[in-house]
Amino acid sequence: MSNNELKKKIVKWAKEYKFSNVGFTDIDLSIEEERLKDWLNNKFHGDMHYMEKHGEKRTKPELLTPGTLSIISFSANYLDFNTENPIKVLQTKDKAYISRYALGQDYHFIMKDKLKKIAQLINQHTDSFKYRTFVDSAPVMEKPIAEKAGLGWIGKHTNLINRDNGSWFFIGEIYSNIRFDIDKKEDNFCGSCSNCISACPTNAIVAPYKLDARKCISYLTIENKGVIPIKYRKQIGNRIFGCDDCQLVCPWNKFAKKTNISSFNSNKGLDNISLLELFSWSEKKFKKETESSPINRINYNQWLRNIAIGLGNSNKSKEIILSLERKKNEVSDLNVIEHIDWAIEQQT
C-alpha cells in the first residue's frame, strides 16, 4: 500500500475512533524552539519544571523518538452540551466552577487508547512501522504540531482554535517513522479580536500569544502545589479547578460541536454542584469521586485550598463560616489552614 493510500485509511480510522480532526506534518519546530526558549527565559512556566527539563527533546521530535519522520496529529472535542450553563455557574457564587475539560473521564487514557488502536491498524498495513503515541504525556509541542498539521491556529489566548469546532478539544499525536505527505498549516483567524485578553480575570495573557502561566488560574489551581498568592484570590472567584474564561468569550466557540465520545460527558453532576457540598467531602470520597477524572491531578489539600478560596469569595453566610471552622479543626496541613483563615476573614 502506498503512503498516500495509508494516509487516507488513517483519516478514515480517525473518524471511526471519533476524533474530530486529523492531520499530518513534518518534524521541523525551529520557530517554536525560539518561542519556547523565550517563554522559559521569562520564567512564565513558574514551577512547571517539566517544561524545561527535557532540553531540546520537546522541539526536536527526532531526539525524543529517533527515526521519527512525520507526526500525525489528532484532536477530540470534549464539550458536553447537556451541562448547566457555564456562565451561570460562574455567576452563582456558592456554586463550584470546574473547567469543562475536567467534567468527564481523564482524556489522557481515553485518547491514548484510541491512538494505540490506530497505530496497531497502521502496523497491520505496513512493514517495519515504528511509532510512539502521546497525549500530554511527554515533552511534545502539541499545539504547534497540530497547527502545522492544519488542525487549527494558535489563538491569542494560546489555545488551538478550529474554524468548525472552536477550541474545546484535546490534542494527541503519533510520532511515525513513515514519511507522509504533509498537510497545509492553518491560517490565523483571530483578526483584531482581543476578547480573551480582556476577559482573563488575572491578566495572564500578557500580550497576544504570550501567557504568563504563573498568573493563569489553571496553573494556580492545578499545577501550583503551594500557596495561591493573595493578590489572585479574589479574581479566582468560584473557579476551583482550571479556568475557561478566555475560551468562553472566544467568538469561534459558537461553532463548537458537542463531543461524540461518551466518556467525556459530565457524568458526576460536577457541572452544577455547590462549593459547600464539595468542601464536605472526606479525602476518601475525594479520591473515589475523582479517580478516573483529570481532577485526580491535584491532591486533597489542593482541593480544599481551592474550595476555601471559592467559599471566601461566596456571599456571606453563617453556614459557610461554620463549615470552614469545622474543616479547620479536621485538617493538619498549614497551607490549607492559611487559605481557610483567609476565607473566614472574607466572610466576617
Closest C-alpha to 240, from 209, 211, 204, 276 = 276
16 Cβ neighbours under 8 A, 6+ residues apart: none
Instruction: State the binding partner of 171 from ligand B12, ligand SF4, none, CB within 5 to 8 A by kind.
Output: ligand B12
Say how many C-beta atoms besides its own lie within 10 A of residue 314's C-beta. 22
Query: How far is the C-alpha of 108 from the C-alpha of 117, rounded, in Å?
Result: 14
228: contact with ligand SF4 by CB under 6 A: no
Which ranges in 58-194 belong to alpha helices (H)? Answer: 61-64, 86-91, 107-124, 142-148
What is the footprint of ligand B12 within residues 120-159 (CB under 6 A)? 135-136, 140-144, 154, 157-159
Least distance from C-beta 242 to ligand SF4, angstroms?
Answer: 7
Instruction: State the binding partner of 186 from ligand B12, ligand SF4, none, CB within 5 to 8 A by kind.
Output: none
- Report DSSP state, residue 250: -
Query: Is 136 considered catalytic here?
Result: yes
Task: Name the helix (H) or strand (E) containing 207.
Answer: strand 205-207
Mode of pairing for the β-strands spanning 97-98 and 239-241: parallel
Contact flags string 130-169 toward ligand SF4, x per CB under 6 A: ---------------------------x------------
The residue (of 7 and 45) whose beta carbon lies closer to ligand SF4 is 45
Query: How far is the C-alpha of 12 from the C-alpha of 311, rounded, in Å?
Result: 48
32: contact with ligand B12 by CB under 6 A: yes
Instruction: State the binding partner of 245 from ligand B12, ligand SF4, none, CB within 5 to 8 A by kind.
Output: ligand SF4
Among 14, 151, 200, 250, binds ligand SF4 (CB under 6 A): 200
Instruction: State the binding partner of 202 from ligand SF4, ligand B12, none, CB within 5 to 8 A by kind.
Output: ligand SF4
Query: How far is the C-alpha of 277 from the C-alpha of 265, rounded, in Å?
Result: 21
The residue (of 105 and 159) whose beta carbon lies closer to ligand B12 is 159
Question: Which is catalytic among the residues 136, 183, 333, 341?
Answer: 136
Taking each continuous run of H as one helix and of E as one strand, the counts in the chain are 15, 10
- How remote is the C-alpha of 263 from its chain's centroid? 16
Residues annotated as catalytic are 136
Can you give the binding site for ligand B12, defined by CB under 6 A? 32, 35-36, 39, 48, 51, 99, 101, 135-136, 140-144, 154, 157-160, 167, 169-171, 209-211, 213, 216, 218-219, 223, 242-244, 246
